[in-house]
Structure 1
Amino acid sequence: MFSTVAVDGEVRRWEDLRLHDFAQGFFFGAGFFTTFRIDAGTPLFLARHLARLRASLAAFPGAVRAPAPEQVSEATVRDTLHRCLHTDAALGPGFTGVGKLSVSDGHVLLTFRPAAPDAERLQREGRTLDTVEPGAYRRGERTLNHKGLSYFRQYALMQQLPLLGNEAGEVCELPTANLFFHLDGALVTPPLDAPCLPGIVREVLLEAGHVGGLPVVERPVPLARLADVSACVFTNSAVLATGVPRLLGRELPGSLPLAEEARALIEAAARRR
């Protein structure tokens, strides 16, 4: 992570932050965050990320102290990001990487990290998914529809990257990504009450309606139906769309070209914004 950060729009240094300013978030995980891709100094889908943050704050008004509304406005965050990039030569106005907004204790913290070192390889080769955690979630658990600071459950599984399922034997998500399956002539993603995070890229693909000629739909995906999947893609805001060339021991040669079509659609949507 880079040393330059911002708190409530003020450019600061990471080492100068005070723990007691974020005690509610640190001790109780009472807060939310969102991570967004930055390409050549431009944040992708920032308005959508901020809308999701505001929705999470509104859903838990008694548990998380919200910042002043202007601190989570698009104009304020864009201005803050711009000043951070121009302040730190290690970032620079053409920075490409990941930004993270964390909201707790009435404050907004903006931090930066480099792009994942294996991002290009993931686009070329995809990522095998070979494990499942059935019953990891409970259907309808509403906290999992929000990207909370209490993120250890997902963080602990990042390297293994298992498919997370619910008690009904249905697929939910990956620890850090939403899932899409080519199944029954459609590109199917689990519904929010599976539960899963309402990912920004997930939202973009659902609104697009089609990827590679396949209608994009939201419906339950039983773990037992994974044997019938002919392609699989997972999505998040940092790497957009990644193909799954091998799913639970089965080769899925259609996944990489499907992910490429999804990325092209997502990038086109970002340019229109």
Structure 2
Amino acid sequence: MHRETGHVLPWRIEDIDLAGIDRERATANEELLLLLCASSFMESGTHLYASDLSAYFDGDTEVVAWLNDEWKPEELQHGRALKMYIAHVWPDFDWDKAFANFFDEYSTLCNAEAFEKTRALEMVARCVIETSTASLYRAIGKWSNEAVLKQIAGNISADEVRHYKHFLSYFRKYNAIERNGRLAVLVALVRRLVEIKGEDSDVALRHVFAMRYPERGGDSAHNRKIAVRINGQVRRNLSAEMCVKMLLKPLGLPARIVPGVQYPLEKLFQHVFFREYR
């Protein structure tokens, strides 16, 4: 149970056997651990974005209550679980210092100007984010051969799918009022999809690299090579078809049209999701 809200979390960190982590298997996959660190930073910074999102939906008690009482606590638990995993596998990694450095920069990037112009379209954008994170953690689970991480990744992915369903239902609620056409919905979807592998994730990876490889002094060529390899592994373990099926739902397309739209959108998803770390 989350202490502040009384919300019963769907799973608990206390029920994960962190002592049972196979450190030899985990440490053998350096690139996966780098990705986990970056993901833990993004998840642990949720409270900053959540406050802006709650302000955007101010006045809708149902949405604001769900964001603050369920979505935010669950996202923050993701960050704590990944942090604890890293602590067991890389005990010398100064997660707190690296996160503080990341957050100093990340906090300057979060602002209300990034939101869509209407509430329905912002819910579409949130569907894109939840689709990508659910897919990422599913890919992490397939990539890893360490049982505890597979469990954590599975838990997080299931949470993100459930969050997606909430945002999709809220989109439908708002769009019944706003009546955005499919073109407007598609534009919002593609816009957020293009932004999804943007500055925020670059910042997270950069601070992970800085803490893990201090002797490299921010060697961008070294970092880029690692990021390309990470992206390649995620690509091999991620189902673009599954992602696109989730992304198409807000469009409400007739069944006969879906096959014609799905393939080009899969290619777009693969291109923007896996473009190189800069």
For the criterion TM > 0.5, the same-fold answer is no
Q: TM-score, normalised by structure 1?
A: 0.30
The alignment's TM-score, normalised by the length of structure 2, stands at: 0.30
Higher strand share: 1
